Structure 1
Amino acid sequence: MTQFTINTQVSDIVTALPQSADLFRNLRIDYCCGGKVSLKEAAEQRSLDVKEVLKDIHSIEEKRESRESLEPSEFGEKTLIAYIQEKYHAGLREELPLLAPYITKVARVHGENHPHLLRVQEIFKTLRAELLDHTNDEDTNVFPMILQFLADPTPGLKETLKPHVFELETEHDNAGRLLHELREITNNFTPPEGACGTYRLVYARLEQLEKETFEHVHLENNILFDRIRQAI
């Protein structure tokens, strides 16, 4: 059941549902310095229909909840691959471009006094490029090859598939190292005292990115790829 109403403060909505910041940003509702107002008041200030804004927030919330309600480790290989693509691959393609401008802004505004934010920006840029290349390779090449192998496990396809699985796991390890460094330099994604709303938002969404990437890698390394290794 939703926790948000027209009387919920904008800043509280963004704290509980970080992705709602994208909606507020598009609607030009200040969730940062001016976020300590009710959704109703914020909508009225922008001459918006608060019921429509609340409906959009509920849609974001429902989308997140539906992605978290399944137990994918019990899926068959074909369903598991589709689940990984829908939840994690599509999720990354949606989230990474949306998160980028917030990180750029925080690094630009606060980087002089908090120089680690410049490194956060560098790591995110690398991580974004690698994760998008990685998921594109899986969707375009490796996952179709896995499905073909499961349908017709020929010796030739078996030998072709082996190095791809190894390479993907190596890329997972590298993403894990980058995320580990992010957690280290952000003090476990804990914003400093007095940090602005955008600063807090960046840390919350980076921590969510870490959580979902670890879930993603677990499903591939320990479920899907384990099954493939047993077959090859």
Structure 2
Amino acid sequence: MELNASLTVGKIATSLPGAAALFRRHGISFCCGGSDSIEAAAEAAGLSPQALVGELQGLVDAAATEAPDGTVDLINHIRTRYHDTHRAELISLIPLAAKVERVHGNHPDAPIGLADLLERIQSDLHSHMHREELMLFPHMERGDHQALTRPIEQMRHEHDVEAQHLAELEHATGGFHLPEGACNSWRALYTGTKKFADDLVQHIHLEKEVLFPRFHETV
């Protein structure tokens, strides 16, 4: 990933691991202000654009250390660390979100619509991951480059859909900001959903920036 100050904060936050947390620390919104460039967002937050790009570059360098060297090992890592984890976490997060909405629906900061959003994410991710596991990954493991062009293009498109879902999660939870006196269920919901969102960014980054480029001649 090549960084420059003209990239939008929305694109960076939903594709670079750790960027969302960095933006939150600096008071930069990437859901409502997601179309702002890094330069504009930095200046609005009283930061140097060059310094912010430098911090983001540190995240790019750190993200590159996670990927296993071999393609088969990387695919196995994606399956176990992300696919299996997403499936398990969403099963528990959806009813927890429904509970918080039901109990605290009158609270001005209640995450109304979060359960529905998580259900949509679950449905989209289920189809996405199933197609990867059934078709894309086996071709990659066999080195069958000729069959990869269209599947990779489709997966990239679906990554864009998930990036939009990540921005919606940020908006629905107010940046995962807990109101004063939030109950344990609300705290558990935001802790779990934030972890899920961070994992999804890492998952997308590994596929888009590491795995898919290994088959760049087909894309």
Normalising by the smaller structure, the TM-score range is 0.5 to 0.7
Question: Which blocks of at least 5 consecutive residues in structure 2 are unaligned?
Answer: 1-63
Q: Within 5 Å, which residues of 2 pair with 1:7-18?
A: none
The equivalent of 2:153 in structure 1 is 166
Q: Distance in 2 between matches of 1:129 and 1:116?
A: 23
The equivalent of 2:116 in structure 1 is 122
- How many angstroms does 1:219 deviate by? 0.4
The equivalent of 1:33 in structure 2 is none
SS of 2:91 mapped into structure 1: helix
The equivalent of 2:198 in structure 1 is 211
The equivalent of 2:172 in structure 1 is 185
Answer whether contact 2:159 2:204 (CA < 8 A) is retained: yes
Deviations 1:153-212 (A, max 9, x none): 4xxxx1x32111011111111111111121123221011111111011111111101110
> 4+ residue stretches of structure 1 with deviation over 4 A?
none
| Structure 2 length-normalised TM | 0.66
The equivalent of 1:19 in structure 2 is none
> In terms of Rg, which structure is larger?
1
SS of 1:78 mapped into structure 2: helix
| Aligned amino acid, residue 77 of structure 1 | T
The equivalent of 2:99 in structure 1 is 105
Q: Distance in 1 between matches of 2:80 and 2:68?
A: 16
Structure with the bigger RCO (C-alpha within 8 Å, sep 6+) is 2
Q: Distance in 2 between matches of 1:230 and 1:73?
A: 20
| Structure 1 length-normalised TM | 0.62
Question: Which blocks of at least 5 consecutive residues in structure 1 are unaligned?
Answer: 1-69
Answer whether contact 1:92 1:132 (CA < 8 A) is retained: no
2:192 matches 1:198: no
Answer whether contact 1:96 1:128 (CA < 8 A) is retained: yes
SS of 1:91 mapped into structure 2: helix
Structure 1 residues 116 and 167: CA distance shift in structure 2, 3 A: farther
Question: How much identity, in percent, do the aligned residues show?
Answer: 29
Q: Distance in 2 between matches of 1:165 and 1:78?
A: 17
| Aligned amino acid, residue 155 of structure 2 | L
Q: Distance in 2 between matches of 1:194 and 1:79?
A: 45
The equivalent of 1:88 in structure 2 is 82
- How many angstroms does 1:114 deviate by? 4.0
Deviations 1:27-78 (A, max 9, x none): xxxxxxxxxxxxxxxxxxxxxxxxxxxxxxxxxxxxxxxxxxx944242111
Q: Distance in 2 between matches of 1:100 and 1:138?
A: 24
Alignment counterpart, residue 209 of structure 2, candidates 175, 200, 222: 222
- How many angstroms does 1:82 deviate by? 0.6
Alignment counterpart, residue 77 of structure 1, candidates 71, 75, 92: 71
